[in-house]
Amino acid sequence: MTKKRTGVFVCHCGTNIAATVDVSRLAKEMAGEETVAFSRDYVYMCSDPGQNSVIEAIKENNLDSVVVTCCSPNLHEKTFRDNAARAGISGFTCEIANIREQCSWVHKNRDEATAKAIKISRSAVRRVARNQSLEPIAVPVTRRVMVIGGGIAGIQASLDIANAGLEVVLVEKLATIGGHMLQLSETFPTLDCSQCILSPKMVEVSRHPKITLMTYSEVQEVSGAVGNFRVKILQKPTYVDPEACKLCDECTVVCPVVVPNEHDLGLTSRRAIHIPFAQAIPASYTLDEDSCLGLNPIRCGKCKDVCEAGAINYDMLPKTVVEDVGAIVVATGFDLYPQEKILEYGAGNVEDVLDGLQFERLCSASGATKGHVLRPSDQKEPKDVVFIQCVGSRDPAQHCAYCSKICCMYTAKHARLYKHHVPDGRAYVFYIDIRSGGKGYEEFVQRAMEEDETVYLRGRVSKLYRKDGKVRVLGTDTLTGQNVEIDADMVVLALAMQPSKGTEEAAKVLKIGRDKDGFLAEAHPKLKPVESVTGGIYLAGCAQGPKDIPETVSQASAAAAKVIGLLSSDTLNHAPTVARVRRSHCTGCEMCVTACPYKAIRLENGKAVVNEVLCEGCGSCTATCLRAAIEVKNVTQLQVFDMIEACLTV
């Protein structure tokens, strides 16, 4: 190995450094170092003349590495590295010695500060002496994107990404996109009709030239890494050709099978062959294999007989599709906490006790009761409706510890909608707190209380049960100190939001982490809310945590922006200061594999192998390995050893 020829450039930073540190002495001391071939001080190294002088010095003195002793690397490391590259040497052979923020600005005594500056600079010189001339790792990327989940988050992300010119494959489990937002009647705080604001986006997705829509499909397997994922998707057969289907509805008339309609949350029923709802995208019927009497052999066949368009095909097979994409957005949404788990409130067995989504279906014009609020038990109009907030949320002892964020708002909305439908009815809300932080939210809740005369009771409901055709609700009002008993016609429970089943499945297949409540784990709770820990996989919507529609749409666009940035060129530039294995020392014990926060190390033929694209160079592996068989380039153990020695040499 030829000896390094390092150039040391000592910056005065005007008087910021020079007033306290003897910069010319520092330059002289560095000149005495074995690997230093050139050492000089200058008033402003980051300035144009300063940087040019570095380039000149590199060329004239045949330098192969540079140490700039100046301000914090956070400010100008990139500047000086790019500068070194312009002079023809690797940017990674340029290191910064911070003698300003960590020295001249915090000490007054000139001798002490100079002595410390010498140690810091010597430390950098010794380190650079063993720096490799690394170049950024260029990873070619596939400039296509997969979005998993076709609710509002997935739809928004898909549109943003497709509008930026990237191809999108949108995979949705159900036969239609739209998600839970499609089941809503109106949305807070404007009481816009949910379908009216969602439908145009759904249509845009279906018509967008850059979006391939795969409904009734599920992701089975994912391999590869950021920039290059290979995804296997199972497309289930709908047994109906979407191009041919005319939506005439003749098939449902003859289908003998009747099952609960999932879209109406069991409040209505559907046939085995059905369309989830009238404006489904794709606009086509679907034959649900699980409830059909039998396709192989064909037990019934009536739907096919009546289909004039000839759209029904019992011979459709499941298809496995393989897609290569550079990034994945996971927007698999939420489910409501199961009512069955709330034993105090009837465990789902008390009639006329509904969850929020069911209430939405009652209010919705396309729903079970054509928009009239009627009791499921006897189809009569309820005159007393009790709404209970925080059912299952904020309950660390028995259910979910967290707050589900949207319930205060949608309960106020439900109360208002109920009062708009049944003006002479009485609405009661049992609450612990009111969380109405968004724009127009607080005013909305106040209007529920004042204009729509909803009675807000600050207290919890201990129990409810059926009595004489009504639901007796036993609660308390802590502000008056009285217990409250209401014989309600209907009760609506604001159940907690939990991660959907699809979220759990997606996390397993993608191998991305989930937090303690099962929501997808973000890479950093404050600074990286839409990135998963795994490079190239982004999160959006309620799969990451409870949130309302404006936040969901924001997150979806944020995830889209990250994806667009990631795939903005044909290659990804990844920092080359990654881990490297010394195979002769590696015994394949896998401690580094376990320790790596990025799962960037795997065992191959009994030795550790680093995926340089996933490795972030944190060094956890280095510290864990008992044999120094793995270390991070340009921060090797030997380099740290030299730095320690330099710090302790007087």
Partner 1 sequence: MINIQDIRDTARDLLAKGEVRAVIGWRAGSRGMAVEPVVITAPEQADELVWDPTCYHNLALHLVEDRKFLAHARKTAGAPIGIIAKGCDARAIVVLMQENYFKREDVYIIGVSCEGSGVIAEWKVARQLDGAVPTAAAFAGDEFAFATAAGEKRLPAREVMADRCLECRNPFPKEHNVALGEDKTGRALDAPFAALARFETRSEGERWEFWQRQFERCIRCFACRSVCPMCYCEECVVDSINIAVAPETTAEEKANRIRWIERSAVKSENITYHMTRAIHLAGRCVDCGECERVCPVNIPLRLLNNKMEREARERFGYEPGASIGGPSLVASFRDDDPGAFIR
Partner 2 sequence: MNAAKPMSAANPMSEQQAYEPKIVAFLCKWCSSAGSDLAGVSRIQYPANATPITVPCSGSMSPMYILSAFNKGADGVLVSGCHIGDCHYMEGNFLARRKIHLVKELLQFIGVEENRFRMSWVSAAEGAKYAQVVKDFVEDLRPLGPQEKLKAQRT
Closer residue to partner 2 (CB): 53 or 637: 637
Strands 144-148 and 327-330, by their bridges, are parallel
Pick from 107, 372, 528, 583: which binds partner 1 (CB under 8 A)? 583
Which whole-number Å values give the CA distances from 282 to 155, 202, 243, 367, 498, in the listed order?
13, 9, 10, 20, 27
Helices 407-421 and 441-450: crossing angle, nearest 10°?
Answer: 40
| 3-state DSSP assignment of residue 597 | coil
**DSSP codes of every residue in 289-303:** TTTSS-BTTBS--HH
Applying CB under 8 A, does 2 fall inside the site for partner 1? no
Cis amide bond preceding 256, omega within 30:
no
Pick from 35, 102, 377, 554: which binds partner 2 (CB under 8 A)? 102
209 touches 167 (CB < 8 A): no
Pick from 347, 479, 638, 647: which binds partner 1 (CB under 8 A)? 638
Interface of this chain with partner 2, residues 569 to 588, rule: CB under 8 A: 577
Applying CB under 8 A, does 100 fall inside the site for partner 2? yes
User: Binds 108, which of partner 1, partner 2, none (CB < 5 to 8 A, cut-off by type)?
Assistant: partner 2
Please choose, out of 14-22, 305-313, 409-417, 623-631, the segment that lies near partner 1 by the rule CB under 8 A: 623-631
CA dihedral 467, 471, 472, 475 (to 10 degrees): 160
Please choose, out of 101-109, 257-265, 303-311, 563-571, the segment that lies near partner 2 by the rule CB under 8 A: 101-109
Applying CB under 8 A, does 78 fall inside the site for partner 1? no
Applying CB under 8 A, does 107 fall inside the site for partner 2? yes
d(CA 228, CA 134): 23
Smallest gap from residue 595 Cβ to partner 1 (A): 4
Phi, psi of 276 (to 5 degrees): -55, -45
User: Binds 163, which of partner 1, partner 2, none (CB < 5 to 8 A, cut-off by type)?
Assistant: none
Pick from 350, 474, 561, 589: which binds partner 1 (CB under 8 A)? 589
Beta strand residue intervals within 521-584, DSSP E = 522-524, 528-532, 537-539, 571-574, 579-581
d(CA 365, CA 465): 30
Residue 2 CA from chain centroid, whole number = 48
User: Binds 583, which of partner 2, partner 1, none (CB < 5 to 8 A, cut-off by type)?
Assistant: partner 1
User: Binds 589, which of partner 2, partner 1, none (CB < 5 to 8 A, cut-off by type)?
Assistant: partner 1
End-to-end CA distance of the chain: 28
Closer residue to partner 1 (CB): 475 or 576: 576
Smallest gap from residue 5 Cβ to partner 1 (A): 17
d(CA 525, CA 503): 19
* Residues 593-612: x where in contact with partner 2 by CB under 8 A, - otherwise, as a string: --x-xx--------------
User: Binds 618, which of partner 1, partner 2, none (CB < 5 to 8 A, cut-off by type)?
Assistant: partner 2
Alpha helices in 422-513 (DSSP H): 441-450, 501-510
d(CA 416, CA 445): 9
Applying CB under 8 A, does 648 fall inside the site for partner 2? yes
Pick from 537, 592, 600, 632: which binds partner 1 (CB under 8 A)? 592
User: Binds 311, which of partner 2, partner 1, none (CB < 5 to 8 A, cut-off by type)?
Assistant: none
Applying CB under 8 A, does 256 fall inside the site for partner 2? no
351 touches 464 (CB < 8 A): no
What are the structure tokens assigned to 217, written together? 């499909």
Applying CB under 8 A, does 119 fall inside the site for partner 2? yes
User: Binds 647, which of partner 2, partner 1, none (CB < 5 to 8 A, cut-off by type)?
Assistant: partner 2
Pick from 46, 533, 595, 618: which binds partner 1 (CB under 8 A)? 595
Applying CB under 8 A, does 590 fall inside the site for partner 2? no
How many C-alpha atoms does 147 have within 13 Å on its Cβ side?
35
Please choose, out of 142-150, 248-256, 555-563, 584-592, the segment that lies near partner 1 by the rule CB under 8 A: 584-592
User: Binds 112, which of partner 1, partner 2, none (CB < 5 to 8 A, cut-off by type)?
Assistant: partner 2
Applying CB under 8 A, does 594 fall inside the site for partner 1? yes
* Residues 57-86: x where in contact with partner 2 by CB under 8 A, - otherwise, as a string: ---------------x-x------------
What are the structure tokens assigned to 534, written together? 């795994």
Interface of this chain with partner 2, residues 163 to 182, rule: CB under 8 A: none
What burial letters (b/e) apply to 198-234, b meaning 16+ CB within 10 Å? beebbebbeebebbbbbbbbbbeebeebbbbbebebb
Helices 152-163 and 194-207: crossing angle, nearest 10°?
Answer: 40
Please choose, out of 16-24, 62-70, 135-143, 578-586, the segment that lies near partner 1 by the rule CB under 8 A: 578-586
Applying CB under 8 A, does 624 fall inside the site for partner 1? yes
State which H helix or E strand residue 591 sits in.
Answer: helix 591-595
User: Binds 212, which of partner 2, partner 1, none (CB < 5 to 8 A, cut-off by type)?
Assistant: none
11 touches 49 (CB < 8 A): no
Interface of this chain with partner 1, residues 129 to 158, rule: CB under 8 A: 130
d(CA 47, CA 540): 43
Rg of the chain over CA atoms, in angstroms? 32
Interface of this chain with partner 2, residues 612 to 641, rule: CB under 8 A: 616-620, 622-624, 628, 632, 635, 637, 640-641
Beta bridge partners of 488: 471
389 touches 422 (CB < 8 A): no
Pick from 116, 263, 399, 413: which binds partner 2 (CB under 8 A)? 116
How many C-alpha atoms does 405 have within 13 Å on its Cβ side?
15
Binding site for partner 1 (CB under 8 A): 1, 130, 582-585, 587-592, 594-595, 603, 606, 624, 626-628, 636-638, 641
Chain residues binding partner 2 by CB under 8 A are 72, 74, 98, 100-103, 105-109, 112-113, 115-116, 119-120, 123, 523-525, 533, 577, 595, 597-598, 616-620, 622-624, 628, 632, 635, 637, 640-641, 643-645, 647-648
